[in-house]
Amino acid sequence: MDPVPPEPAPTPPPVVLVPPSRPKVRMPFLIVLGVATVVSGAVIAYTQLGALQSAKPAPTPVPLAVVRPSPSPTPVETFFLTLTSPKSDELAVNEEVLVKGQTAPNINVVILSETDEVAVESDDSGNFEGTILLAEGTNSIVVTAYSDTGEEKSVSLELVYSP
């Protein structure tokens, strides 16, 4: 008889590789992870931007020029005329009256009344005096100073002479 071929050996079952089991990732966890990643990126970007801005040199302040007008000096009046005596509306008991005053130094001064006229010159301090005659009753007296530049200053007063 014919030899019977031996029975073929049984074929082992195919090997199926199964990955180890992993826990199922839930969708909310993935959302939280995504939000955390975005927030972390934003924080890092903001921090880096702040570092870049602080690394820039600060702009140099430009001083502003403040222009203040200087106060204009008060003009000093060099030519003036004041009377020190007599005072207006005084009663004179003498026919002669001494008129005193002050003006600029070395200035010609004329003293006029209704009955008299006197010309004097102020001294180095500007003081002057002159005696005039009065008429009985009210007398108008005008004192005028004349500067070298042609300016005039006048002061008027009235005196009553009663003998």
**Which tens digit of pLDDT belongs to each residue from 73-106?**
776 668 999 999 999 999 999 999 999 999 999 9
pLDDT surpassing 80 at residue 151: yes
Please check whether residue 135 is in contact with residue 161, taking contact to mean a CB–CB distance below 8 angstroms: yes
Q: What is the pTM of this model?
A: 0.54
Residue 107's Cβ-count burial label (10 Å; 0-12, 13-18, 19+) is buried
What pLDDT does residue 132 have? Answer: 96
Residue numbers of the domain that contains 37: 26-56
24, pLDDT greater than 70: no
CA–CA separation, 104 and 122 (whole Å): 7
Same domain as 144, residue 96 = yes
Q: Does residue 35 sit in the same domain as residue 91?
A: no
Q: Are the C-beta atoms of 159 and 90 separated by less than 8 Å?
A: yes
Do 40 and 92 belong together in one domain? Answer: no
The mean predicted confidence, pLDDT, of the chain is 82
Q: Could you read off the pLDDT of 109-128 as tens digits, one per residue?
A: 999 998 999 999 999 999 99
For residue 4 the two structure tokens come to: 């019977």
Gap between the Cα atoms of 154 and 83, Å rounded: 10
Amino acid identity, position 27:
M
Residues 52, 87: one domain?
A: no
Determine the average pLDDT of the residues in 37-44. 71
Query: What local confidence, expressed as pLDDT, does residue 37 receive?
Result: 75
pLDDT value for 32? 65
Our separate counts of H helices and E strands in the chain read 1, 8
Q: What is the pLDDT of residue 44?
A: 74
Structure tokens at 162: 């009663």
- Split into its structural domains, the chain has a count of 2
Question: Is residue 6 a part of any domain in this protein?
Answer: no
112 neighbors 142 (Cβ within 8 angstroms): yes
